[in-house]
Amino acid sequence: MKNSLLITLLLISVSCKSKLQEPSESGEKDLAVVEQSSTSETLSFVTSAELKETVYYLASDDLQGRATGSEGIEKAAVYIENAFKSYNVKPYFESYRDAYKAKGLDAYNVVGYIEGSDPVLKDELIILGAHYDHIGIGKVVDGDSIANGANDDATGVAAVLAMARYFATKKNNKRSILFTLYSGEEMGLLGSQHLAARLKEADVNLYSMINFEMIGIPIVDKDYLAYFTGYDLSNMAPKLNAYVGYKLLGLLPKAKEFQLFYRSDNYSFFKAFNKPAHAISTFDFTNFDHYHKVGDEADKMDYEFMAKLVNRLIPALETMSNTTTPEIKMNE
């Protein structure tokens, strides 16, 4: 009786596991299934602690809201440079800094570079970016006037730095990757416009660009982890979903309604190159009330969620960097 019961339970367990891991008719697995069944080191490489450390520093009062041209944003630039150095990520230009003038102010993008391993594909460039500036001093609320910009966009910077650490550690990218942090975004995308123009003038072969913007709070009641601006303009989001086998990225109607594709640094590269260039975000207009306000503080971010999102994005980006043919394309 005991042996018979044991065999029955084993059969039920195998049957349930097999059924649970079946993909949907669209070929995508449910995210919960992926989380339950995956034991990949990649899905735990980035920690909530490292993301939290970056956001807490960049969004600290000591940096005074990181306005472009300020002492605070200079401290942020040094922090980013030191992170790149510690990961052994090389500067793309003579130094990490891409200097320009932002309405008369001295301003800098910070740019790191990991060369691709393939002698041909390394000439194709993937850009991962976020802006590290914010608006500085804002309207006083309860004695606080510093608009710290934790979600906007210290969270995006933290993601880019964590991904730089991953690719510098694994050295598993056939295409080359630029890790780009922009100032001047809050002044009208000035930093990314400058860098895009400089790269265009140098005739670089841009394969794709992804901008990370406000990813500190989980999106509400969606069957995907983050949304993709300009979703229908290229095949990038469906391809990234296909690379991981589940619906990681989706289309948020509000993002299209408010034309967010044109309002962040990805647009500078799309405009210059007419290549797939999009932003990834989780700000859904219902889950965060502190946009450009002094309440955008580091203690309001969900670092466990951020780590989950970044760890799930990495395999998609890694696959994108290694396909032997160019699969990411603009839609007709």
DSSP for 275-331 reads: S-EEEEE---SSS-S-TTSTT--GGGS-HHHHHHHHHHHHHHHHHHTT-SS----B-
Whether cis (ω within 30° of 0) applies to the bond prior to 133 is no
Instruction: Using the structure block, give the residue that is written with the tokens 């969606």.
Output: 222
Is 33 a residue whose pLDDT tops 70?
no
Per-residue pLDDT band at 43 (split at 50, 70, 90): confident
Per-residue pLDDT band at 31 (split at 50, 70, 90): low
Q: Which two tokens stand for residue 121?
A: 């594909």
Per residue in 208-245, pLDDT (tens digit) is 999 999 999 999 999 999 999 999 999 999 999 999 99
- Give Cα separations from 309 to 45, 135, 202, 273 (angstroms): 12, 26, 33, 28
Q: Which two tokens stand for residue 185?
A: 């975004």
Range 28-320 classified under CATH 3.30.450.40: no
First CA to last CA across the chain, in angstroms? 65
The DSSP bridge partners found for residue 54 are none
Q: Which two tokens stand for residue 52?
A: 């939290």
Buried (b) or exposed (e) across 297-309, using 16+ Cβ within 10 A? bbeebbbebbbbb
55: closest CA among 183, 47, 70, 125?
Answer: 47
Query: Above pLDDT 90, what percent of the chain?
Result: 86
Contacts 24+ apart (CB under 8 A), 254-260: 254/284, 254/285, 255/227, 255/229, 255/231, 255/281, 256/231, 258/285, 260/229
Strand pairing class (105-114; 176-182): antiparallel
pTM of the shown model? 0.89
Backbone angles phi, psi at 246, to 5 degrees: -155, 170
Per residue in 104-148, pLDDT (tens digit) is 999 999 999 999 999 999 999 999 999 999 999 988 998 999 999
Q: Mean pLDDT, the chain, as a whole number? A: 90
Backbone angles phi, psi at 110, to 5 degrees: -120, 125
Query: Any idea where the domains of the chain sit in the sequence?
Result: 28-320
Residue 141: count other Cβ atoms within 10 Å of its Cβ.
12
- Give Cα separations from 203 to 4, 26, 91 (angstroms): 70, 39, 18
43: closest CA among 248, 212, 223, 222?
Answer: 248
Return d(Cα 66, Cα 87) in angstroms, integer.
Answer: 24
Q: What is the pLDDT of residue 139?
A: 86
Per residue in 249-301, pLDDT (tens digit) is 999 999 999 999 999 999 999 999 999 999 999 999 999 999 999 999 999 99
Backbone angles phi, psi at 179, to 5 degrees: -110, 110
Per residue in 65-84, pLDDT (tens digit) is 999 999 999 999 999 999 99
Segment holding 99, helix H or strand E: strand 97-102
